[in-house]
Structure 1
């Protein structure tokens, strides 16, 4: 797993009035970092509609994912970056089980349901039905499943490895500190109430605040 949390970047389309200074303030980074990420781009001649890379500052929150008794091989990391209008979430995980298609009335194994759950507990409990102490999906506005703040995109395994980043305006990083991230055995169908029929809980990580002085 990469240890350099500061390597995440997003793409920004230049709008009228944008400068490296305004972008640095907007994204809580530095002019120097933006310049380094965009060699060959003249900061004095930014063209509307062109795209530039914005390196994100250190994440505001982080969860270290560990597999439970159903899949102890899983390990990974989820980072939460504060960006304008919401949160940029990045996940990288190894050790996911091989995909298995639905058969004999059983749901497929993978792609894997991926959610924020309401309580900050990764206690295993029942080894056949672990991590129940994490509670249900985090749903602060009492929405139907599919629109929970904690409903995240499914994880697609590539020989056990998955990586993705996405934007959400459903929460800011500070909102989810003390919650948990759960990886499920089965896909989330985003329809079945209250939890998408995503199956057993394979892995868990508690979301904690990041001290910027602890990130190197």
Structure 2
């Protein structure tokens, strides 16, 4: 397999250590925040800097930016070359954004950031099969959620179309009825009063004429 193809299969791995002991691994292609509140990706109760600190800003599937504070220590390596983050900051070799110094990081690098008794180790590697399966399940659930929203939107549009058709049909019936009143009134209006009264009589009533009975 070509080197470029191998790199495309790699994912950023963050290993969280406390007092020299690894306690958790995170595989991610998304930006990561750190802080002491529960809505951060990495929660550290002893965190003293601003909350929602953007420790990782992902640029692509194979590169990211590591944001460090001047109070942090650590190193970054590429091949056989290793550099101290403190030295890079002191020599003014890193760009600064807000209260962060930014370190470019890609599949060729390894490194760590230390603060207090916490150490975050960074590298790019191919995730284990279980992690890939978890990612696939998340993608499937996200796809189902999007599909569900699309179906609901189509059903809503269909309901609006049916309701609009019914209202239009009802308005047409009302308009047609008012535009074409019964002709009986038009005919009666042009008749003498006496004849008009006879015409208005219920024509379904049985006639007394021709019954063969004589009136007394």
Question: Would you tell me which structure has more helix in proportion to its own residues?
Answer: 2
Question: Would you tell me which structure has more strand in proportion to its own residues?
Answer: 2
TM-score interval, normalised by the smaller of the two chains: under 0.3
Q: Which has the higher contact order (CA 8 A, sep 6+)?
A: 1
Could you say which structure has the larger radius of gyration?
Answer: 2
